[in-house]
Amino acid sequence: GLWCTLNLTLMCLRFAGQMTDLVYTEKELVQSLKEYIKAEESKLAAIKSWASKLDALTRVSTSDPEGYLAHPVNAYKLMKRLNSEWSELETLVLQNPSDGFISNMSIHRQYFPDEEDATGAAKALMRLQDTYQLDSEAFSRGKLPGLHTNALLTVDDCFDMGKTAYNDADYYHAVLWLQQSLKQLDAGEEAVISKADILDYLSYSVYQMGDLPRAIELTRRLVAIDPKHDRAGGNLRYFERLLTKQLNEMNQTYQPPSEEPIQLGTYSRPKDHLPERETYEALCRGEGLQMVRRSRLFCRYQDGKRNPRLLLKPMKEEDEWDSPHIVRYLEVLSHEEIEKIKELAKPRLARATVRDPKTGVLTTANYRVSKSAWLEAEDDVVIQRVNQRIEDITGLTVDTAELLQVANYGVGGQYEPHFDFSRKDEPDAFKRLGTGNRVATFLNYMSDVAAGGATVFPDFGAAIWPRKGTAVFWYNLFRSGEGDYRTRHAACPVLVGSKWVSNKWIHERGQEFRRPCGLTEVD
């Protein structure tokens, strides 16, 4: 009986103790519930803030999508938002089951830009920066030539630009963008990224640009902020030893780094594969144009040598250049025709390709950044009409020409200096077509461009600016069939706007009686 009584008492005591514990446990659960509610409210407030910001953004962007995307900063930030920021929002929402949102994300994710697209958008801004000699401050504050908007880049945007360049071992651009990120942070702008992270990347990039004094000064600032930083101490000692060694070898004394902030022109841009880079970019800016073409350039009505279709309404023809002869035709395409061509092309637009000179196979290349589509005469009566018009105007048959190529150059879109014809060192470029070389180019401008986007000829210093509805025409080959190397040309990067063109590459076969051989190699 005693054992039972003792055992019962112990059980009662244990139970009473557990009950007391459960009281406190419940209190902790209530506290935990309050924290959960607070976290949910905080999360909901964050999501509401996102929604409000994105709602305002999309109202602006959808009211005029082309106008909105005409600004390169807007295009870059759209890429960045869809590549990373929406994923951050997804992570936030995923903290609790939210099937509707996740289902929607899953459906739309297939259309999101990937990492390569986001990187490409960043590089496009850098390309514009180089070509049009714009500093990072101008871009960050939305101050582009003739355009002041509220399309701004934040500290974090600038840091991401710099990091994109850094990851590509492009320390020249890394320095420019990381410096801008630091400048905005120092001015009191809020940011997710820390000053230590910016200084870490910036100091190493400056070192890679060969500026040891400034790399040391930046690393000292980093050490002052974060004395326990993983790399900073080691980097600082290494930079100081390296500078001491260099000064001793050159018998020089230490000169403190310039107090001036790093900006465009502080460091020289590294040379690249393009020999005429400076000439090409100057022409794109409207500099270095050779205004004296010949004593008189003409405009005239052109009826295609009494072509019946042009007799009642001849084409207006203007000389753009004397030798090689480049002409512009006015009112070649109507607004309705342009819209129809764009409508046909849009579903087919893909990254533009170039023909590999060795294999003749089409492939993508960094020096050609645009989207293109090929349209056949069978696609629509408008394409038939355009093909016929090109034949009537030029007097050349288009039976052996390539399909009508439609190209769209968006933010930073370009085609660096190139030849349209195949050279002697690439004899198989058009072998598969069996129609000979590209004898001529007929280029339709299907949009006006707010800034940038000229067609330039570095060899003789010409720049032809897009004018909607007009077309330019030139021969790539002399009458002998030899290539005219002066026709090397480029499509300058689009700075503001969207550039639509369509072109017809006309081939040699079938032109024997329409454009007979000359008596010399260069007739």
Q: Which two tokens stand for residue 131?
A: 């070509």
Regarding the domain with residue range 276-507, which homologous superfamily does it belong to in the CATH classification? q2cbj1_9rhob like domain (2.60.120.620)
DSSP string, 441-456: EEEEE-S--SEE--EE
Cα gap 40→30, rounded to integer Å:
15
DSSP string, 425-437: T-TTTTTTTTS-S
User: Strand 455-457 relative to strand 368-369: parallel, antiparallel, unpaired?
Assistant: unpaired
| Residue pLDDT tens, the chain, 523 long | 433 333 333 333 333 333 445 456 566 555 656 666 677 788 889 889 989 989 999 999 999 998 888 899 998 999 999 998 888 888 888 776 555 566 666 776 767 678 887 888 899 899 999 999 999 998 899 888 767 677 899 999 999 999 999 999 999 999 999 999 999 999 999 999 999 999 999 999 999 999 999 999 999 999 999 999 989 999 999 999 999 998 888 888 888 887 777 888 889 999 988 889 999 999 999 997 775 555 566 899 999 999 999 999 999 999 999 999 999 999 999 999 999 999 999 888 886 666 665 566 666 666 556 788 999 999 999 999 999 999 999 999 999 999 999 999 877 888 999 999 999 888 778 888 899 999 999 999 999 998 999 999 999 999 999 999 999 999 999 999 999 999 999 999 999 888 999 999 999 999 999 999 888 888 7
Q: Which amino acid is at 116?
A: E
pTM for this predicted structure: 0.80
Query: Which distant-in-sequence residues (6+ apart) come within 8 Å of 96 by Cβ?
Result: 40, 43
Q: Looking at domain 115-250, which CATH architecture does it have?
A: Alpha Horseshoe (1.25)
